[in-house]
Amino acid sequence: MMEWYTYLLKIGELSLKKGNRAGFERILRQNLVTLLRGSKASVTVTNGRFYVRTPSEGAGQVEDALDRLMGITGWARTKAVEKTPCAVRGACIEVARELAERGIKSFKVEARRTDKRFPLDSYGIRCDAGQAIREAVPALAVDVHTPQAIIEVEIRERAYIYAMEQKGRRGLPSGTAGRGLLLLSGGIDSPAAGYMMLSRGMALDAVYFHAYPYTAEEARQKVIRIAEILGSYSLGIRLFTVGFTAVQMRIKERAPLPWTTVLLRMAMMECAEELALRRHCKCLITGESLSQVASQTAENISCAQSRVSLPVFRPLIGMDKEQIIRVAESIGTYETSILPYEDCCVIFSPPHPILRGDSGEAGELYEKLELSELIVDALNNSAVDRCGFPAVLTPLAGSSRYHPGLTGQAGTLPPPEGDRPGQIRWEEEI
Ligand code: ATP
Ligand code: MG
Length of the chain: 430
Is the shortest distance between the CB of 187 and ligand 1 below 6 Å? Answer: yes
Local confidence band at 351 (pLDDT 50, 70, 90 cut-offs): confident
Best CA proximity match to 206, nearest among 218, 225, 217: 225
Q: What is the CA radius of gyration of the chain?
A: 26
Collect all residues with Cβ–Cβ distance below 8 Å to 354 and sequence separation of at least 6.
Answer: 258, 259, 262, 294, 300
Strand partners, 159: 81, 155
Angle at 186 between CA 184 and CA 189, to 5 degrees: 70
**pLDDT at position 346, please?**
58
CA distance linking residue 101 with residue 94, whole number of Å? 11
Of all atoms in ligand 1, which is nearest to the CA of residue 337? Answer: 2
Is the shortest distance between the CB of 208 and ligand 1 below 6 Å? Answer: yes
**pLDDT at position 280, please?**
95
Is the shortest distance between the CB of 180 and ligand 1 below 6 Å? Answer: no
pLDDT in tens, 74-109: 999 999 999 999 999 999 999 999 999 999 999 999
pLDDT above 70 for 412: no
**pLDDT at position 429, please?**
46
Of all atoms in ligand 1, which is nearest to the CA of residue 316? Answer: 18
Ligand 1 centroid from CA 241, angstroms: 14
CA distance linking residue 236 with residue 239, whole number of Å? 10
Which burial class, exposed, middle or buried, applies to 256 when counting CB atoms under 10 A from its CB (0-12, 13-18, 19+)? exposed
Collect all residues with Cβ–Cβ distance below 8 Å to 149 and sequence separation of at least 6.
Answer: 99, 104, 106, 107, 163, 164
**pLDDT at position 295, please?**
78
CATH number for region 4-167: 3.30.2130.30
Nearest-10 crossing angle of helices 245-254, 372-380: 160
Residue 186's SS3 state is: coil
Inter-residue contact 47 to 156 (CB < 8 Å): yes
Indicate the helix (H) or strand (E) that contains 217. Answer: helix 217-231
CA distance linking residue 7 with residue 51, whole number of Å? 5
DSSP character for 350? -
Q: From atom 11 of ligand 1, which residue's Cα is the shortest distance away?
A: 295
pLDDT in tens, 385-410: 999 988 755 444 433 333 332 222 22
Ligand 1 centroid from CA 186, angstroms: 8
Domain map (residue ranges) of the chain: 4-167, 179-407
Q: Residues of the chain with pLDDT > 70: what percent?
A: 89
Residue from 181, 182, 183, 185 to probe ligand 1 pocket by mutation (most atoms less than 8 Å from CB): 185
**pLDDT at position 417, please?**
35
Local confidence band at 423 (pLDDT 50, 70, 90 cut-offs): very low
User: What's the topology of domain 179-407?
Assistant: Rossmann fold (3.40.50)
pLDDT, average across residues 11-27:
81
Is the shortest distance between the CB of 287 and ligand 1 below 6 Å? Answer: yes
Inter-residue contact 115 to 73 (CB < 8 Å): no
pLDDT above 90 for 2: no
**pLDDT at position 415, please?**
34
Amino acid, res. 234: S
pLDDT, average across residues 138-153:
95
Full DSSP string of 101-150 = HTT--EEEEEEEES-TTSSS-HHHHHHHHHHHHHHH-TT-EE-SSS-SEE
pLDDT, average across residues 61-86:
94
pLDDT in tens, 186-221: 999 999 999 999 999 999 999 999 998 888 889 999
Which letter, b or e, does each residue of 271-296 get, where b requires 16 or more Cβ atoms within 10 Å of its Cβ? Answer: bbbbbbeebebebbbbbbbeebebbb
Alpha helices by DSSP H, listed for 137-216, are 189-198
Residue from 190, 251, 319 to probe ligand 1 pocket by mutation (most atoms less than 8 Å from CB): 190
Is the shortest distance between the CB of 189 and ligand 1 below 6 Å? Answer: yes
Ligand 2 centroid from CA 337, angstroms: 10
Best CA proximity match to 194, nearest among 331, 388, 399: 331
**pLDDT at position 350, please?**
83
Q: How many CB atoms lie within 10 A of CB 22?
A: 10
Local confidence band at 357 (pLDDT 50, 70, 90 cut-offs): confident
